[in-house]
Amino acid sequence: MQDLFDGDAERGEQFRICWDDFYVDFSKNHLTQETLALLTELAEECQLNEAMSHYFGGSLINATEGRAVLHTALRAPRDQDVRVDGENIIPGVHAVIDQIKSFSQGVIDGTITSSSGQPFTDVVNIGIGGSDLGPVMVTEALAHYKTHLNLHYMSNVDGDHVMEVLQNVTPETTLFVVVSKSFTTQETLSNATTAKQWLVDALGEQAVAEHFVAVSTNLTMINDFGIDPQNVFPMNDWVGGRFSLWSAVGLSIALGVGPDHFEELLQGAHAMDTHFANTPLQENIPVVLALITLWYNNFYGAESEAIIPYTQYLHRLPAYLQQGIMESNGKSVDRKGNAVDYQTGNLIWGEPGTNSQHAFFQLIHQGTKLIPAHFIGFKTPLYGKQDHHDKLMANFFAQTEALMKGKSAETVRSEGVEKSLVPFKVFAGNKPTTTLLIEKLTPASLGKLVAMYEHKIFVEGILWNIYSYDQWGVELGKQLANTILKEIVNKKTGAHDSSTSSLLRTYNSQ
């Protein structure tokens, strides 16, 4: 890459995309114009444009489950027409958005109160997977814009986790948001039942209807639980859990940052949808990023991709993208059900800079693994601490330059380093990074960023010829857990391998 820059003074300007408030620099990658042209040709051969039409048009592209994939419709304007089974779904989408806005504003301004007539002070979101990771990530990312409500998240079925949340809230002023499409997810239902009993012990059975709301479709079980039908927010089967924060799953987001900011989040995502749908492939941010991922994964053998946001606000973004990317594209059969003979998916990991520089950057700089990385930074700090921000961003820019340039043995020797230490202080360089420089962390810019990664996932699935939107891989462990739970409760171990049997005997002997 050093040679590429030395041979082309304009490389930094030629390998970038400027769109809206995004500046995407992919010049510090192992790419030439020929490489990019060939990768784009590959995308065309894979009929990416046709696939995008199906994606936005409501076709049943989640073929193994017979579902459309329309998280893009959740942020579409009211005047759009998107049809599933011949019906325009946009009026229904906006009916839910209006319900979210009305309810969240009522809780925020105190017109919707608890059973004791007091305003709510705390909200506990009970959900797992996409029903947790999206709301957690967004409310943490937009903490600068938070309302007076304190958000808490209860996801793991671990009872210690549940009790840690409950001991930090007060029954009289706590609202619970139970998020489960089926209202049968083991972790969520167990946690909701425990929270309900905790509330009933303090306030009585009649308090449940005023302290619990549900994001679900199972009206029978919701009614049995004691939740007021007026406080049920519907979900759709054409939205996968890991893409659902834009839906009623975003209720906790609207409560946490306010309905206006939630709407700005949706608008930002729609702006990225429009860019993705209408921009030529070589100037299309999600497309180019997906092509770069494929280039390293399938031609260089890179197995992971680091996501490194230079803002503490986005500390949950890597975890959120782990689910989005690894659950979507972690597939080993193609669309015809045949085993693939090439790599799909990639490992996603990361932490915010500059913390990560003092943790795992050693491996990226001087280790033996090729780890392409996304650096995400913002030009404008939210609190105006320019001195801090300049130091943060100096590191942001320096790391990508250092990873690309490295440090030769000749340079190390010229610094007067003792001969025996020279090999230890050499940096090979040639480490690829992509830099996303965004004007400011706002609800709209966050919406664009998340939608960008969603579309990148889609493009990768098309290039790898796999189905990105089913998730059969999460089912087997659930099935076995149900069987083993009965054995634990009954203190009777069934037929298992010797390892599992021994572990169960040891556990049951407590």
CA gap 39, 50 in Å, rounded: 17
- The β-bridge relationship of strands 212-215 and 22-25 is unpaired
User: Which one of 148, 358, 388, 492 is the catalytic residue?
Assistant: 358
3-state secondary structure of 380: strand
- Contact indicator for 431, 368 with CB cutoff of 8 Å: no
Give how far Cα 92 sits from Cα of 108, 130, 201, 313, 375, Å: 24, 21, 38, 32, 38
Residues 283 and 17 sit within 8 Å (Cβ to Cβ): yes
Contact predicate 236/259, CB 8 Å: no
Q: Which residue in 187, 305, 327, 454 is the catalytic one?
A: 327
> Does the active-site annotation cover 388?
no
Of 261, 251, 231, 264, which is closest to residue 127 (Cα–Cα)? 251
In this structure, are residues 419 and 9 in contact, taking their beta carbons and an 8 Å threshold? no
Clarify whether 487 is annotated catalytic.
no
Contact status, residue 120 vs residue 107, Cβ threshold 8 Å: yes
Helix (H) or strand (E) holding 111: none
Choose the catalytic residue: 144, 478, 486, 492.
478
Query: Where are the extended beta strands (E) located within 144-283?
Result: 150-154, 174-179, 212-215, 232-233
The reply to whether 358 belongs to the active site is yes
Identify whether the C-beta of residue 58 lies closer than 8 Å to the C-beta of residue 70. yes
Residue 43 tokens, joined? 């995308």
* DSSP at 325: I
Q: Which active-site residues does the annotation give?
A: 327, 358, 478
